[in-house]
């Protein structure tokens, strides 16, 4: 019996609202698979109560939590330590408790890139420009992971251009400013003509949300199209891309891969992202 299995371990996901989260289903699967005496719950925490909740984790005996909307940026002041990658991304998606100290990190970029590499293995970061739709937390993780991997140029498109320009200013501190350009929303379609990868990081196209209206006619057939939305698993964007011959990557893998290193940090057990866990989590979308 390992040290991590010698006592009941408690972790969870914090958001507002939180009922939609598949993380309890995912982590619960791994806990059962490995016979770990542990639990993973969803915690509905209003933004104004986040400080008290996070600071109380050690006293509650909680070994760590994931953070989702709207807490990934709000949590920064309440932590003792934040790793360099999370600072660069500007968001924390998991917290680990150790010796009553709170450590913040970010695995979203790892999940984003690993999912891409697993499902589009012929894509190469250095092959050419990438276009990203959105300027929120997920876009931050995508931008950093792609620039770190060697993508020569990331083109950022957001309906509110000023939000994308703000990201450009932030990342000019870390990267050559010429590698991150901000385009006008109306020029999105024309900006796809030479890209190797198109990524939607917004909620447009998600179940219950407005569709993402985009003209793919100028997109090269060799480009990969990646949508981080996973409900529905095949969005209108992915279906349109598949029908014209593009390789597509859905968003479920990002959720699965970002969870694996956090699980290991809390419960001391390496886990695999395989078809069985993907199938099990997918079933949760049908409930």
Q: Are both 9-105+255-284 and 109-249 of the same fold?
A: yes
- SS3 of 124-143: CHHHCCEEEECCCHHHHHHH
Among the listed residues 20, 28, 4, the one whose alpha carbon sits nearest the alpha carbon of residue 208: 20
Residue range 202-224, pLDDT digits in tens? 999 998 899 999 999 999 999 99
Q: Hey, what are 159's tokens?
A: 């309906």
> Which positions are annotated as active-site residues?
72
pTM of the predicted protein model: 0.93
For residue 28, the Cα-to-chain-centroid distance in whole angstroms is 19
Q: Hey, what are 35's tokens?
A: 């016979």
Residue 19: pLDDT band by 50, 70, 90 thresholds?
A: confident
Q: First and final CA of the chain: distance in angstroms?
A: 35
Residues constituting the chain: 287
Q: What are phi and psi of 22, to 5 degrees?
A: -95, 0
Q: Strand 130-133 vs strand 81-82: parallel, antiparallel, or unpaired?
A: unpaired
CA angle 110, 34, 106 (to 5 degrees): 20
In CATH terms, the fold of domain 109-249 is Rossmann fold (3.40.50)
Q: Give me the CATH code for the 9-105+255-284 domain, please.
A: 3.40.50.10860
- According to DSSP, residue 78 is labeled G
Residue 133: pLDDT band by 50, 70, 90 thresholds?
A: very high
Domain positions in the chain: 9-105+255-284, 109-249
Cβ(118)–Cβ(260) below 8 Å = no
Cβ(138)–Cβ(211) below 8 Å = no
C-alpha separations of 286 from 165, 196, 258, 282 in Å = 38, 33, 22, 7
- Is residue 159's pLDDT more than 60? yes
Binding site for NADP(+): residue ranges?
A: 84, 134-138, 158-163, 228, 251
Place of tokens 């939305």: 229
Residue range 64-117, pLDDT digits in tens? 999 998 999 999 999 999 999 999 999 999 999 999 999 999 999 999 999 999
User: Which residues make Cβ contacts (< 8 Å) with residue 45, sequence separation at least 6?
Assistant: 14, 15, 16, 18, 53, 71
Q: How far, in Å, CA of 30 to CA of 273, rounded?
A: 10
Q: What are phi and psi of 5, to 5 degrees?
A: -95, -5
């Amino acid at each position: 019996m390992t040290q991590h299995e010698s006592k009941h371990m408690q972790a969870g996901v914090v958001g507002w609202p939180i009922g939609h989260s598949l993380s309890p289903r995912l982590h619960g699967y791994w806990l059962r698979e490995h016979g770990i005496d542990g639990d993973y719950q969803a915690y509905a925490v209003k933004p104004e109560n986040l400080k008290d909740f996070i600071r109380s984790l050690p006293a509650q005996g909680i070994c760590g939590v994931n953070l989702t909307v709207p807490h990934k940026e709000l949590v920064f002041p309440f932590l003792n330590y934040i790793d360099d990658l999370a600072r660069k991304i500007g968001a924390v998606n998991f917290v680990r408790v150790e010796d009553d100290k709170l450590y913040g990190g970010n695995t979203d970029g790892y999940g984003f890139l690993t999912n891409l590499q697993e499902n589009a293995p012929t894509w190469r970061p250095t092959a050419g420009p990438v276009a990203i739709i959105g300027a929120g937390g997920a876009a931050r993780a995508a931008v950093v992971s792609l620039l770190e991997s060697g993508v020569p140029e990331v083109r950022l498109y957001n309906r509110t251009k000023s939000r994308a320009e703000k990201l450009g200013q932030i990342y000019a501190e870390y990267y050559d400013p010429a590698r991150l350009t901000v385009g006008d929303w109306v020029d999105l379609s024309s900006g796809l003509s030479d890209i190797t990868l198109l990524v939607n990081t917004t909620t447009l196209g998600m179940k219950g949300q407005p569709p993402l209206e985009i003209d793919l006619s100028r997109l090269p057939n060799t480009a990969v199209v990646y949508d981080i939305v996973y409900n529905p698993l095949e969005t209108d964007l992915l279906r349109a891309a598949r029908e014209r011959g593009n390789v597509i990557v859905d968003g479920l893998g990002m959720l699965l891969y970002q969870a694996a290193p956090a699980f290991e940090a809390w419960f001391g057990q390496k886990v695999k992202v395989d078809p069985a866990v993907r199938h099990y989590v997918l079933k949760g979308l049908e409930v």
